[in-house]
Chain A
Amino acid sequence: MTLLEFDDVSITYQSRQGLVPAVRNVSLSLPLGKTLGIAGESGCGKTTLADSVLRLLPKSAQVTGHIRLDGEDVMAMSFGQLRAARWAKAAVVFQGAMHALNPVQRIETQLAEPILLHEDVGGQAARMRVGELLEQVGLPASRAGDYPHQLSGGQKQRVMIAMALACRPSLLIADEPTTALDVMVQAQVLDLLASLVRQLGLGVVLISHDLSVLAGACDRVAVMYAGRIVEEGAATDVFARPLHPYAKALAGAFPRIGDQAFRYAPAGLPGDPPFPGDLPPGCPLHPRCPIAVDTCSTVEPLLTRHGDREAACHRAGEVLV
């Protein structure tokens, strides 16, 4: 069953400089029990897309298209329905949220808050649930009385994941959950997410700028650039054999250790990602693209199907051959 569906979603911010298209014509879907990765760098629209699922965007954002959560159109929900969906149907672990834990409140108080607000239970039952949640994310229940400063970065991220699970959602959205964590702790957190998918049958949307992380942790992955999906496919395929030059650059940014092709040869793209309010004409990547041809500077390529994959590049077909 489709848990989450983006159907031709565009999101535009109204800013002083005019309209800023942050997300453009995105269509994606995620079934229960699967993990979808969204890759891209700052300003590509991945966080805007994630926040749109629970209508967490600022008022200046105009959303077109349909976002369906469990088949229900999120944009059409009344405030009451939306409030019921938040936490209970879908929950978000925001980027850097572990730094937003209240430093003067014990972990249990903060974990119990959504439970007390959203479920009709008393303090005793909520405390029981807090203990369960902590154990679910691999922390001893005895840590419930700790303050945030007593926890390490990885432990705080576990607490944030526990909090997201508080009201038993079926969809978990994790925005850069491992950024700023060490590789070993990153591996621990990714393992935890994978085990939650297995045990609870959750659907997970995992957002990261690191395609190699997504390749290992996701079933499918969508690569975004300048608000659009430029490649979508099975995670390992997109990482190992990218069709789009931008996906290729992301895959190469984190070198395959042991591969001589990367030794003394760091790979990147010249230039910087464009500002969403001032996109170049044609393909937004063309000023930085190593394989751009004349058409690229005038015609924006659309997503086209290549086997099990989609890519938005005039030359994707050639690269595949």
Chain B
Amino acid sequence: MTATPDADTPALETRALEVEFRTRSGDVARAVDGVNLAVHRGEILALVGESGCGKTTLARTILGLQRPAAGAVYVGGEKLSYRARDLKAYRRRAQLILQDPSGALNPRHTVYEAVAEGLRVHGLHEGEEAKVADALSRAGLRPPERFYLRYPHELSGGQRQRVVIAGALVLDPEIIVADEPVSSLDASVRGEILALLLRLRDELGLTLLVVTHDLGLAWNIADRVAVMYLGRIIEIGPTEEILAAPQHPYTQALLSVVPEVARLEPIVLTGETPDPTRIPAGCRFHTRCPALVDGTAGAAGVDERCRTVELPIIAVDAPEAGHTAACHLVEANAHR
């Protein structure tokens, strides 16, 4: 695979992506159920949703760690190939940062070994030390030599996450997928790590997909936000619009219960996200939708549609497309 020089081609794209898992009882759980998503070069996109919404599965599929049942992943305009050699090459270009740095680091490897491992896997032996030193200082561990021989248990949580980030940077990737990168860190350290991610985008032009349930994180660093519910993106748009004027009742509810948003009346949804083996008919959110319960959908005359008519998958997903929500009520209000 070669990178296309065309600047308009998204760094990452998924088209009608579907990922399925078979449960032990033989049911099919569709964890990702039709997702069109494009992340542009140098863009930070936050993929938000609750546990079980499929956000981590989507991220894993984007990295080629999981094969889709249908649809495909495109990297720099080219379809991701699952041949072992192509995947290995892809994994130099796209790196993953996980939630828990303590689990991601081998406790018996020094910081130097942890960071150099990626280089060794890819047979890049030349200038190894210089590359490791560079990655460590970019990740904010300075002077790097002081950290070479340290073991993970000698580091604080924030420093460990910086080592993980250095391990990702050492291969000079274009794309970083970060799954809850700060949720296991102390509150006062969290801001520093987020500032580091922002700086990496600004200095290296990295493309970042951040998977999180934390809307505050999105407000802190993301250019755009995609909200996922039960395997689908139900609302996407620029961060300012999604978080300041959410359209979809699910996004509205999600935002209203964030403790930092005191100005909103909390809409606490009952129950939890349904099981992906039994996706509700009609709008997949209708079983928990506050707009159906309080009669807003009924007044707009769409309640029947909510229960029976499935919503189309959000088609165009590009920054130019602006703010889109998959909701019968939003649609009805727009036509009025």
The residue among A184, A264, A265, A269 with the most chain B CB atoms within 10 A of its own CB is A184
A253 to B192, CA, bound (A): 10
Are A183 and B215 interface neighbours, CB within 8 A? Answer: yes
The stretch from B58-66, B106-114, B153-161 touching chain A is B153-161
Is B302 interfacial (CB-CB < 8 Å)? no
Q: How many A-B residue pairs have CB under 8 A?
A: 123
CB distance from B215 to the nearest CB of A (A): 6
For the complex, give the distance between the alpha carbons of A191 and B239 in Å: 28
A 149-177 contacts with B by CB, 8 A:
152-154
Tell me whether A184 and B215 are in contact in the complex, defined as CB-CB below 8 angstroms, given that A210-B187, A211-B187, A257-B243 are known contacts.
Answer: no
Which stretch (A11-19, A90-98, A110-118, A244-252) binds chain B? A244-252
Q: Point out the residues of chain A lying under 8 angstroms from B186, CB to CB.
A: 41-42, 209, 272-273
Contacts of B253 in A (CB 8 A): 184
Return the contact of B260 from the options A256, A267, A272 (Cβ within 8 A): A256
Interface residues of A in 269-301 (CB under 8 A from B): 269-270, 272-273, 288
Give the residue name and chain of the B residue nearest to A258 (CB). B244
Nearest A residue to B49 via CB reads: A182
Given contacts A41-B188, A266-B198, contact A153 B260 (CB under 8 A): no
Q: Tally A residues with Cβ within 8 Å of B.
A: 42
Chain A residues with Cβ below 8 Å from B254 are: 183-184
Please provide the chain A residues from 182 to 215 with a CB less than 8 Å away from any CB of chain B in the complex: 182-188, 191, 209-213, 215
**A268–B195 contact, CB under 8 A?**
yes
Contact assessment for B219 and A257 in the assembled complex, using a CB-CB cutoff below 8 Å: yes
Expressed in whole angstroms, the minimum distance between the Cβ of A43 and any Cβ of chain B is 9
Residues in chain B near residue A145, CB distance under 8 A? none
The verdict on A254 contacting chain B, using a C-beta distance below 8 Å, is yes
Answer whether A266 and B221 are a contact pair too, CB < 8 Å, given A210-B259, A257-B243: yes
* Cβ of B272 under 8 Å from chain A: yes
Task: Closest B residue to A246 by CB, please name it.
Answer: B188
Q: B50 near A: Cβ within 8 Å?
A: yes
- Whether a CB of chain B sits under 8 angstroms from the CB of A71 is no
Closest Cβ–Cβ distance, residue A138 to chain B (whole Å):
9
Which among B159, B188, B189 has the greatest number of chain A C-beta atoms within 10 A? B188
Q: Is B216 at the interface (CB under 8 A from chain A)?
A: yes
In the complex, what residues of A have CB within 8 A of residue B51's CB?
Answer: 153, 182
**Shortest Cβ distance from residue A263 to the other chain B in the assembled complex, whole angstroms:** 6
Which B residues are in CB contact (< 8 Å) with A272?
156-159, 186, 189
Give A265 to B194 CA distance when docked, in angstroms.
9
Contact of B272 among A185, A187, A254, A258 (CB under 8 A): A185
Q: How far is the CA of A191 from the CA of B191 in the complex (A)?
A: 28
Contact B216 A257 (CB under 8 A): yes
Give chain A nearest CB distance to B150 CB in angstroms: 14
Which residue in chain A gives the minimum CB-CB distance to B288? A184
With A152-B272, A268-B195, A272-B156 already in contact, the answer to whether A258 and B261 are too (CB < 8 A) is yes
Question: A124-150: contact bitstring with B at CB < 8 Å (1 yes, 0 no)?
Answer: 000000000000000000000000000
Binding site for B on A (CB under 8 A): 41-42, 152-154, 182-188, 191, 209-213, 215-216, 246, 249-250, 252-258, 262-270, 272-273, 288
Question: B residues engaging A (CB < 8 A)?
Answer: 50-51, 156-159, 186-195, 198, 213-216, 219-221, 239-240, 243-244, 253-255, 257-263, 266, 268-270, 272
Task: Other than A42-B186, A256-B261, A258-B244, give 13 A-B pairs with Cβ distance below 8 A.
Answer: A41-B188, A152-B272, A183-B258, A184-B254, A209-B186, A210-B187, A211-B187, A249-B191, A250-B188, A257-B219, A257-B255, A265-B220, A268-B189
